[in-house]
Every structure is written in structure tokens, then in C-alpha cells.
Structure 1
Amino acid sequence: MNFENILVEESNGLATITINRPKKLNALNKVTIEELHNAFKTLDADTNVKVIIITGSGDKAFVAGADISEFAHFSVEEGGMLARKGQEILFDFVENLSTPVIAAVNGFALGGGLELAMACHFRVASDNAKMGLPEVSLGVIPGYGGTQRLPQLVGKGKAMELVMTAGMISADEAKEAGLVNHVTSLEELLPLAEKIASKIMRNSSVAIAAAIKAVNDNFKDGTNGFETEIKEFGSCFGTEDFKEGTTAFLEKRKPNFPGK
């Protein structure tokens, strides 16, 4: 896959997407958002890809925000469409991907960058990372899911404070708040993400996809997550992965999941 603003590497079931706009601190513009959508869509359709890691190029930023120059003069209608389309093709799309997505947050994750990290299934961060939603300092609010996902991860009160103050928190503060799962050095960030990915890849990709759907449905209005869990649990019984997993357990050997 050849792109203008992102790099994609695949090896042994693991795909790594690197947002590659270092001079712009990897800021999200229209082209980058569309390229990310296409990359995630292609990788999710590839049955050989079991886990996706997304990170930023360089050592300063994961994504330092959205490219403000692209929408500074938008009308009310254009602003609404910007948020709606962005959520549909990238942020909601990533959250509901059947392939696990790990955000490796290296440096600044601000505005749309933090919103992208929060859309991933979980996050690891380097100890130089800084995270925040500074939108109200520009006279606007987070529009790519930030007001919804941040409270889910850190609680309403903490989210309100972060949004209202437009402040940044450190990687350690983010871990304490539940925003990231692990903090490590910049040098060890990708190796840590890859280590976690290797553990994920030992398990059934079919069951993991079902688990992602069940967990996500708990946070959707009008959807009963318990019912989704029951349905997905039952569906697992009809898969080749279930047959292999239970057979391997009974035979006291490691499973070799076909991913079907």
C-alpha cells in the first residue's frame, strides 16, 4: 500500500501504521484521514493480519491535533459535516474494527490525535507523551468523539475538567486515570506494543472480533450489550476456532486457530 501521509508495514500477522507528517507533528488533515480509513479497511479485510498498531513518526508526536488551517473558515453546516464524516470514516470505523487496534502514543496526542487514540481498542504510551483536548481554547469542542469516549475511559468529572481547562496531562497521569494501559520509555514503546500484540495473536481472532463487538455494544444507546454477548457467545460454538480451541485444551496442547 502506497500513501502520501502514512506508512504501512506488515510482518507475521502484525501490521503497523505510522502517521508520517513529522513537519506538521503528524496533524490529521483530510488526506490523512482518508488514507487511514483505506489502510484500516484493507488490513481488516486481510485474514493474515491479526493485530494493528498505530503510531506517529518521530519522537515528538503521535498526532498533535487536526490541521486547523483546513477548517478555520468553515460554516456551521460545513463544521457539522466535518465531524460527521470524520467519525464515520475513521474514529467510529476504528472503534468497531474486528481486528484489534493498539495505539502506541509517542509524544503529543492532542485534539483529534487523542480522539484517534481513544478510538483504538486500548493504548500504550511513552513517558514523554502529553495528552489533552484543547478545542475549547479555539472556540470549538472536540468533534471526533472526544466528548463521548473520554468520559467512558476516565469518568465524567475528570473528562469535564480536561475538556473545560483545555489542559494536558502526562503519560503517568493518563495511566492513573485509565486513559492508557501502560507507560514505558520511547525506545521500548513499539517493542511493548508488539509484545502485547503477540499475546493477542495466540488467541482466536474470531472470538476476539466477537468480544470487541460485545464490549462496544455496552456503550451504545438502545443496544443491550448482554444480548449481544449471548448472541456472540452462541455463534462461537459454530466456528472452527471453537472446535480447535476446545480440542486442544482437552488434548493438553497449544491450539492452532484457523481463524474461521
Structure 2
Amino acid sequence: MIRLERRTSAIAWAIVDRPQARNAMTFAMWDELHAIARRLRNDRELRVLVIAGAGGKAFVSGTDIAGFRGFTAEDGVAYEARMDAVIGAVEALDVPVVAAVAGACTGGGVALAAACDVRIGASSARVGVPIARTLGNVLSLANIMRVSGVVGSDAVKAMLVTAELLDAESALRTGFFHELVDDAQLDARAAERAETIAALAPLTLRLTKAGMRRLRAAVPIPDDGDLIRAAYGSADFAEGVDAFIAKRAPRWTGSG
């Protein structure tokens, strides 16, 4: 589930609360987050949203793999569109969004954090999109652009083709994190940051975010439906899902 906590009239926390599964998001949880973002967009008292993961072991470790069983190519297109709608709703919030990241920040968690305006990392944070090692699917171009806007296209490409996770210090050097703190200090630092931001001129922040969205929208995203269909409709993707659930190494063939 996603817990929405109103810490003050101006500050809300959205907490991904599935620590027993390293905060892997079910499809229903993505829908919850989408609904929360839409609701908060009409909240005139809100000044800052903080997104965090419960349990200290993960921010968001992507989407629950069990949900991908039996996926078709068209299911993949629908899933990526759903993801873009959810993360786009977070990105579209008028107020600044702070990501408090401890533990695993992988897959869709990376795209979600990239949609936030300030990212604070804990020493335990590990960041990456290891889909070439785990599932054999593909990121949408919208999410590649989001993450590229944070760390640059070369860093995103290296992240994808190596399937490696960055440790916290490496993620700081790439610009993914704005600062690092000890795990025990993460919540307190995120709260402090939120309070500082909440005291700033709300109109300036709102208009700045609107301007940044216009700049991003000025660069059209090419259609990627053929790439998504080729990945999600492939035998390799089905093998990746089965292998992940069975906790064995996948046997890739490179065939569709």
C-alpha cells in the first residue's frame, strides 16, 4: 500500500509500505500513487511532498515481477503507458517533491525518483535498472528521458547495458543524489529539507516547475511502441519472468 501522511498542513509524506517485498510495487500500488498525486494537485495548502519507502531496505525496487506472468506485447505497451501516467502525475505536481532514498532504488523506482525535484540518498542506497540481467524488458523512451535529464544519456546507457547498481557515492557523483546522509538521519534530513522548501515563495516554485515541464515538453519523444512490443512479447521476457520467480538464472536466447 501507499500511506499518505500529513505531517503538517504544508507537508505530506507518501510512504511505499511493502517492506516484506522490498517495496516492489504491485499494479494496484502504482494506481494508488497515481490517485494520490491527482488528489494532491488540487490541495492548495500543500507546499511539499516527500516520497519514501518503509522498512529502510528499499525506496522502490521496481514492479512486482509476479504481475508480469502471461504478459503479451500489447500488455507491455499498456503497462509502460500506465507507468508514464503515474510517474508523469508525480512530475506534474505544482509543489516540490523530495525523494528520501534508502536501500534499493531500482527499475521503476529510478524513474520515480528521477521525477522528484530533490533526491536525498542514504548510505545504503543502491541505484540502477538491471533489466538486462533480470527480466529482458526495456525502458520506455519517456523514462529514459526522465533519468537522462538527471544523470545524462551516457550514464543511463551505461546503467542499462551493464545492468549494474550504483552505490550511494557513485549515485551522488552522477548527480542522481543531491546529498547523502547516514541511514539513521535520512528521515530527519528529508523532513528538514521539506520544512525549508515549504517556507519559500510558493508561486516562484510553482512557476519554476511549470517552466521546466514546458522545456521538457518542447523535445518530442519518438514513438517507442515497436520497441516495447518487441521486448514484452518476446520469449526472453517470458523466460526472465519465470526465472526470476523460480529464483534461477535466466537462459537468454535473444529471440523474439
TM-score bucket of the superposed structures, by smaller chain: 0.7 to 0.9
Deviates more, 1:137-146 or 1:20-29: 137-146
1:60 aligned residue? 57
Deviation of residue 36 (structure 1)? 0.8
SS of the residue corresponding to residue 55 of structure 1 reads strand
Amino acid at match of 1:55: A
Which residue identity does 1:177 align to in structure 2?
Answer: T
Shift of 1:197: 1.3
Distance in 2 (alpha carbons) for counterparts of 1:132 and 1:145: 17
Q: Secondary structure at the match of 2:217?
A: coil
Question: Is it true that 1:43 corresponds to 2:15 in the alignment?
Answer: no
TM-score between the two structures when normalised by the length of structure 1: 0.80
SS of residue paired to 1:109 = strand
Q: Distance in 2 between matches of 1:202 and 1:71?
A: 43
Deviations 1:54-93 (A, max 9, x none): 00000111111111111232111110011012211x1111
Matches within 5 A, 1:121-132: 121-132=117-128
Q: Could you say what the CA RMSD is over the residues aligned between the two structures, in angstroms?
A: 1.5
Q: Is the 8 A contact 1:64 1:113 kept in 2?
A: yes
Superposition pairs of residues 99-114 of structure 1, within 5 angstroms: 99-114=95-110
Q: Which runs of 5+ in 2 are unaligned?
A: 221-256
Q: Larger radius of gyration, structure 1 or 2?
A: 1
In structure 2, C-alpha distance between the alignment counterparts of 1:32 and 1:163, rounded to whole Å: 25
Q: Which residue of 1 aligns with 2:218?
A: 221
CA contact (8 A) 1:91 1:145 kept: no
Matches within 5 A, 1:83-162: 83-88=80-85, 90-137=86-133, 138-143=135-140, 145-162=142-159
Identical positions, percent: 28
Q: 1:120 to 1:144 in 2, by over 3 A?
A: farther
Give the CA deviation at 1:203: 1.6
1:99–1:209 Cα contact (<8 Å) kept: yes
Task: Find the counterpart in structure 1 of residue 185 from structure 2.
Answer: 188
Q: 1:11 to 1:165 in 2, by over 3 A?
A: same
Instruction: Classify 1:196/1:144 alpha carbon distance in 2 versus 1 (closer, same or farther; 3 Å).
Output: farther
Deviation string for 1:129-155 (max 9, x for gaps)?
000001222211124843212222112
Choose from 4, 7, 13 the match for 1:11.
7
Within 2, Cα distance between the matches of 1:111 and 1:222?
24
- Describe how 1:202-241 pairs up with structure 2 within 5 A: 202-222=199-219
Contact 1:103-1:122 within 8 A present in 2 as well: yes
| Aligned partner of residue 27 in structure 1, secondary structure | coil
Partner of 1:74: 71
Aligned to 2:3, what secondary structure does the other structure show? strand
State the distance in 2 between where 1:42 and 1:187 align: 31
Q: Which amino acid aligns with 2:163?
A: A
Amino acid at match of 1:31: A
Relative contact order (alpha carbons < 8 A, sep ≥ 6): 1 or 2 greater?
2
- Alpha carbons 1:112, 1:144 under 8 Å: kept: no
Q: Does 1:201 align with 2:198?
A: yes
Bigger shift: residues 38-47 or 162-171: 38-47
Tell me which of 142, 158, 166 is aligned to 1:169.
Answer: 166
Deviation at 1:222, TM superposition (A): 4.9
Unaligned runs of 5+ in 1: 224-260
Change (3 A) 1:129 1:213: same
Query: Which contiguous aligned blocks of 4+ residues in structure 1 show a shift greater than 6 angstroms?
Result: none
How far apart, in 1, do the equivalents of 2:2 and 2:137 lie? 27
